[in-house]
Structure 1
């Protein structure tokens, strides 16, 4: 298998502040020999002078990040090995920047959750994980990330103690079970600074028989969502007109095919008005084509003139998607001003924007106790909750679990124009399960 044949893997680092996320990525790039020569020289000079190489500086690009020693924004890095291509998103660990972590995780095929072995509380019968570890795990569940690697970091500072490592693994397994984190879960003992189990197996952990980090990343499957196998869903972003006054008037609908496949002659349905037509022509950036699949950016024409505008959707004639105004959704609240259910917000879903009213806060998730707070009046910064909402105009939405592209939305404060929340439309809310 070559890098060209293996599917691209997008992955993020997550966890609490100072768990070593930026250092891990820097070490991974250094050990896999995918850095520029001047970056390698800088790290080698530090080592020659007896200093500890600053691997975190390879990803902390903002001046404020280097000055404060924390990650603030999402830093994207690209690298490739002989087996696979990767895009890494180094996301912030600080609670204040949780919204940036959500941004990075929204398109990830895998996540590395770092747990600092020196900061886990071992005073009780069960080790206590940090709140951000729990919060980030819950967000990854919401976003449907299919592969999670729990990397227990800084083992060099606890003497590569297998007992402590296994206790942390057991604590995380209990967390995963409690929040129903039903994903492909892997555990790995590492020291990002020293390079243990990053690219090759470490002699310091002979009790660990699994793959090091890089070979594990090279082996992960990419099967986040089978959007191509679903009924066609095309979000109209723009209506293109040409020679509007002539007899050969061109009217094309531009946007991205979010699910399914389209081909010339297919019967389609326009939402929300429900009218039907057939695909007359399909144009991609490379020119005219007869077929398209999920992810393609297209201009399509229909065999009849229909009133279609930005925010409408063109779907397969047999698609079960129907316009709705009332939804239940999970919300990650991003704004310093709490959610106020007495006011309206703007909801942006695919290419459609409409006013929305939060009719009820069903519950808020308590990140410390992993329980639901049923009597919450609002959502505060970085809270995760479940709400009921009603939109002014019908949405052509699916459940997030079915297709993230057509089940996700953001909330916007109409007064400040701030993005105040990210939302995921839920398929159902069962009382007997932990459905965030």
Structure 2
């Protein structure tokens, strides 16, 4: 059992050597952790060491073996300073262990040199050692909490500024290029491919997709926890078809996620292109999300994007052009697929039959049925019908109620 008077005297002896111990601590920390030796932190390291050493030894001297609920002010300032300068938390925690190592060694040495009975010396050494281990454990827990809180606050404020800068840029504000380079790390004079993403980890996904495109420059901003905007900048961007192929391949390697949707816009150059590519990516994303597809490229869905700007008008157009064929049921779906294949085959029934995997006579029968339902030969308004067929999947929910009435008119669609 430790004699409290012995513990108090040893603590008093180390307190008297405080300036020397602080100097040795700061020297050891600077030598072993270069990140803490920078000018901005040097004084904070010194005052933090002094505050922690003094409060700990005073607690030992005064028989207080409880542990603080808060860091000393100087130690808190050091933790926040490290967070602001990007010093890793592991480096800051190592500094505490270096200080603990030095003080523990001095504690044991002080008592070893004192003319004490062995049992009394051993008891005092053990009491001080237990206190110091518990103290450093408590201090590092508090340090990690302060550091993490400050880091999260900074990240939020920086990310908010980045998002606001991007929004201002999209809104047409003339922001100096050097400000954008400094705060966004992105050159808006490049040619841009834009992405709008929804995913469980949208920022990570954006970076993975950019890797597959050999991005010269990349800007990613988080919009919500599950969505992000991204721009890939290149002097000479690859063809959109190659971009789409690379993105599809990358998505195929990702863990499945039901809510995933990616829209791609561009390429487009400079500041106007930054905005245009993003607008295209937004349109493509909305089409992908509405259709439950993981990917849409604006170049492939530009017609749908334009038509669906006014969903009500698009729905009325589809209903007018397709008539009974717009019904959301299996028979109507068969006839729509037949009509699409016939158009794509240049009005060739044999080629359409090959596409559909049915007999040519079946295609002929279905086309007669289609003409009867439309009230005119389908080739008379081919352009309008093709557009309506492309738009139908995006407004299909509107026609659920129409299926029953249409079924009575369809007859067999074999």
**What TM-score do you get using the length of structure 2 for normalisation?**
0.22
Structure 1 or 2, whichever has the larger Rg, is 2
Which has more helix, going by share of residues?
2
Which has more strand, going by share of residues?
1
